[in-house]
Structure 1
Amino acid sequence: MTRTAIVMLLTGLLLYSTVCASADDSAPSTEQWPVSEYRLDNGMRVIVREDHRAPVVVSQVWYRVGSGYERLGRTGISHLLEHMMFKGTAKHPPGELLRIIARNGGRQNAFTGRDFTVYFQQLAADRLEIAFRLEADRMQNLILDAQELAKERQVVMEERRMRVTDQPRSHFGEHFNTIAYPASPYAWPGLGWQADLEAITLAELRGWYARWYAPGNALLVVVGDVQPEHVLRLAKAAFGKVPARATTHPHRENYLQAPGERRLVMHSKEAKVPYVLLGYQVPSVATAQERDEIYALMVLASILDGGKGARLSQELVRDRRIAASAGAGYSAVARLDSLFVLDAVPSDAEVAIDSLVKALREQVQRLQSEPVDTETLERAKNLLLADHLYELDSMFYQAMQIGMLETAGVDWRMLEVYPGKIRAVSAASVQAVARKYLIPSRLTVGTLLPQTPPDDDAQTGNGEGRS
């Protein structure tokens, strides 16, 4: 599994749309493309990034709420509300919002993560006002109807079945998180547990909407062929009319640090091949006491899984031939503590799962015991910087980078220092974070096996509900 796929499996993002083109000299840098910031009287923040390469614009409204804000018993409510946000207002009945954007040649969608819910439109730059008007309307005038909720609840439960229950690795990853995050709301799935989805009431959904969908809890990010002052005028005209409401955020949870090595063995009738997953508790960009450690962890992940020449692919897949695939990943941008993960699929039935786990742990021990060589280090850093450049080539991902950092509680200006911080990572700093964080007391080891024990059907992991 690729580095990106591992991170996606465990972070709970529900939609991830790549809009990147080729990286070349036309790709903007933070110095070339100015960013302007504003705050409306009702508390809503507006961030505008100019990109005049094409006469188009991306508009994203970020709400600081996602599955990481939920509680057991009502998991999945943020994603369910995201679906209901397309069900209309008094001005725009169900389906009208989609038709308006389509008539104007644009596209739109939404996605829910652990720390945010996002609604976006991509339009010709001269149609930006339309997006603002529609988003401002449903920010305050959403109609939540019992019949529509009943229908959409079934849609979400079917989405859960298709994306999780019927996908052995996704189902396994969901249960893995409940053990890997022993004291964090990241332990439960973004799509919610089945039993919770069935239990969410209309009143609870209305309360969630009233609590979180307030201008003071929203961030408007606009990237494209625009003038910041014009965007501000449009934002004031549309969103400035939404009444301010107080929003109380949960305190940042205290974690059970280094609780000791944990293990999960899950059997699945649907799994075709075994699969192993290792997750180490590590800080995120928002929780790290020493921010430079974050960049070292990023480089460490790239050393292990940065292209075909990376260590896991080279040594476990091609040299030793004990793995059909092997990867590593680290999701640094999060509001709460994160995971550094490694995974592998054995090359054939003769490879013991314990041997594969041992091989992954040996890769970690190697990073702890010896500094990485200069060539490997530079290759890993160059790959990270190239990925960053590709993302900057996309207006959509320029906005995504800003929104994800801000909703994690981190200033978007981290983007300005990111290249220099990556270049500054040394072999010693990579070794230091490996020694500090990739240790047994922070580790969860998960194994997915493609069979059902004949004497214990309860171990299959195929049941629904909360772990």
Structure 2
Amino acid sequence: MKRHLRTFLLLFFSSLSLSLLPPAGAQITAPAPAQEKPQQFTLPNGLTLIVKPDRRAPTAVHMLYVRVGAMDEVDGTTGVAHVLEHMLFKGTKTTKPGEFSRLVAALGGRENAFTTRDVTGYFQQIPANKLEDVIRLEADRFANNQWPDDEFKRELEVVKEERRSRTEDNPRSLLFEQLSAVVYQASPYRRPVVGWMNDLEAMTPQDAREFYRRWYVPGNAAVVVAGDVDPAQVRRLVEKHYGSIPARAVPPRKPREEPQQNGVRRLEFKAPADQSYVALAFKVPQLRTFDKTPENDDALALTVLSAVLDGYDGARLDRALTRGPDRVADSVDAGYGLWGRGPQLFTLSGVPAAGKTPEQVEAALREQVARVAREGVTEAELQRVKTRWIAGEIYKLDSVMGQARELGSAWVMGMPLDSDTRLMARLREVTADQVKSVAARYFGDDQLSVGILRPLPVDPNRKPRQPAAGARH
């Protein structure tokens, strides 16, 4: 629940300035550039390969997705998935700590990695004629990652400093971390991706090594390649470098379903801050397939509701809460996760204006949803958000990295390769009545958790913390 609040919209707008979007009601008539369809293969050892040719520039993206994240940790070792991501840069039998990044840079490329609740990913963007070099490097560290204990201890200090600078020094990040622990009881989404500090303090090199051996197996991973490439050649290269990695069973995952909530949950959180803040989290359905089921239909309607409330400049929340002499908030947000390996939330949040309270912002946010439940939304609003999504579909093709990430994310969720096309088609079908219906059914107290940041005085002499040396992302 970071600034996850516009996640779905950002997926489509990542390569597009809002100023370039057409006005509401405009028709998109220019066809998208011709694109080759992605192809998917499965190696004998269980590794998935997805290839998406895009020959407009002599560049390629290579990504390795491992279907493991913070949700696969156990209590006492929170943060180990993220720590292990850092350790993948610390060497193999044939490469020294830090050498991976130096070699990619020497190829004229850039690289990094990320960890979320659902997945750990590693990526490189390089000239297309250097693709085999990064395939070889990534396959080597996936299969042969190793490092001395002292290297682990040094990198663990980097991660702890990362937690301090990104979470502990940020009162809103702390609020959302605490709120997640209140929202979820059984779901592992209650744990922070970076880990609790006491778990980081107690983490051992063996914790990371065991997590690596357990989850970094071919059947739990996918290689995604996009760019100026030939699928048959990519398949040969991947089979050459990844194919010899021995197959091992993917560990079984037990279901950890969230129990039904009965009544609103509230969190009062105090921290040094300039302004108070309020966040509302509602438990709602998520998209599991593209089949026409009540749950999937509701998930799509919730996506449209999020966009109607806060999908563009001057959307409902902005107009109603942040403008005029009687405005109640300085800023507001709405968002919906749509899909994930764990349960998803619909979130509303805001910063009270001068003289206003978090409770007033909470009431105003809920009133806007209640208004949709009473009065519905207009066809003009629906057309506006749908037009923007279609524009985003066209412009996102400019990003080879974006195409690769979208394919990898779909694989993580068990979705088909053409998820983007199917999603657009299903969103176009959402009606005003469906949006009105979900606004009426999913925003009561029994689905709600509220977090309020109560500001404490800020030390005027405190200096901003410097970014951790060696921190990635």
C-alpha distance in structure 1 between counterparts of 2:31 and 2:247, whole Å: 35
What is the aligned-residue RMSD (CA, Å)?
2.4
Residue 70 in 1 paired to residue 65 in 2?
A: no
Residues 21 and 345 of structure 1: CA distance in aligned 2, closer, same or farther (over 3 Å):
closer
Q: Which residue of 1 aligns with 2:279?
A: 277
Q: Which residue of 2 aligns with 1:462?
A: none
> Does structure 2 conserve the Cα–Cα contact (< 8 Å) formed by 1:222 and 1:399?
yes
Residue 362 in 1 paired to residue 367 in 2?
A: yes
> Does structure 1 conserve the Cα–Cα contact (< 8 Å) formed by 2:285 and 2:295?
no
Residues 8 and 252 of structure 1: CA distance in aligned 2, closer, same or farther (over 3 Å):
farther
Q: Which residue of 2 aligns with 1:397?
A: 402
Name the % identity. Answer: 41
Range 237-246 or range 286-295, more displaced:
286-295
Residues 347 and 6 of structure 1: CA distance in aligned 2, closer, same or farther (over 3 Å):
farther
> Does structure 2 conserve the Cα–Cα contact (< 8 Å) formed by 1:286 and 1:336?
no
1:293-304 → structure 2 map (5 Å cutoff):
293-304=298-309
Q: Which residue of 2 aligns with 1:7?
A: 5
Q: Paired residues, what number?
A: 442
C-alpha distance in structure 2 between counterparts of 1:339 and 1:414, whole Å: 21
C-alpha distance in structure 2 between counterparts of 1:179 and 1:330, whole Å: 18
Residues 252 and 392 of structure 1: CA distance in aligned 2, closer, same or farther (over 3 Å):
farther
Counterpart amino acid of residue 20 in structure 1: S
Structure 1 residue 8 displacement after superposition: 7.8
C-alpha distance in structure 2 between counterparts of 1:355 and 1:373, whole Å: 27
The TM-score with structure 1 as length reference comes to: 0.90
Residues 330 and 425 of structure 1: CA distance in aligned 2, closer, same or farther (over 3 Å):
same
1:46-195 → structure 2 map (5 Å cutoff):
46-195=49-198
The TM-score with structure 2 as length reference comes to: 0.88
C-alpha distance in structure 2 between counterparts of 1:58 and 1:27, whole Å: 27
> What's the secondary structure of 2:256's corresponding residue?
coil
> Does structure 1 conserve the Cα–Cα contact (< 8 Å) formed by 2:38 and 2:417?
no
Q: Which residue of 1 aligns with 2:467?
A: none
Structure 1 residue 412 displacement after superposition: 3.0
**Unmatched runs of 5 consecutive residues or more in structure 2:** 22-27, 458-473
1:11-26 → structure 2 map (5 Å cutoff):
20=15
Structure 1 residue 19 displacement after superposition: 6.9
> What's the secondary structure of 2:224's corresponding residue?
strand
Deviation digits for residues 277-330 of structure 1 (CA, Å, limit 9, x no counterpart): 001011222388632222211111000101122000011111441111011011
Structure 1 residue 4 displacement after superposition: 8.7
Q: Which residue of 1 aligns with 2:313?
A: 308
Range 212-221 or range 429-438, more displaced:
429-438
> Does structure 1 conserve the Cα–Cα contact (< 8 Å) formed by 2:308 and 2:382?
yes
Structure 1 residue 197 displacement after superposition: 0.8
Counterpart amino acid of residue 138 in structure 2: E
> Does structure 1 conserve the Cα–Cα contact (< 8 Å) formed by 2:37 and 2:52?
yes
> Does structure 2 conserve the Cα–Cα contact (< 8 Å) formed by 1:59 and 1:222?
yes
Q: Which residue of 1 aligns with 2:346?
A: 340
Structure 1 residue 389 displacement after superposition: 3.6
Residue 239 in 1 paired to residue 242 in 2?
A: yes
Counterpart amino acid of residue 363 in structure 1: Q
Range 427-436 or range 207-216, more displaced:
427-436
Residues 205 and 4 of structure 1: CA distance in aligned 2, closer, same or farther (over 3 Å):
closer
> What's the secondary structure of 2:275's corresponding residue?
coil
Deviation digits for residues 60-95 of structure 1 (CA, Å, limit 9, x no counterpart): 000000001112211000000000000001211112
> Does structure 1 conserve the Cα–Cα contact (< 8 Å) formed by 2:6 and 2:335?
no
Q: Which residue of 2 aligns with 1:42?
A: 45
> Does structure 1 conserve the Cα–Cα contact (< 8 Å) formed by 2:2 and 2:173?
no
Q: Which residue of 2 aligns with 1:451?
A: 456
C-alpha distance in structure 1 between counterparts of 2:115 and 2:327, whole Å: 38
C-alpha distance in structure 2 between counterparts of 1:67 and 1:326, whole Å: 28
C-alpha distance in structure 2 between counterparts of 1:31 and 1:90, whole Å: 43
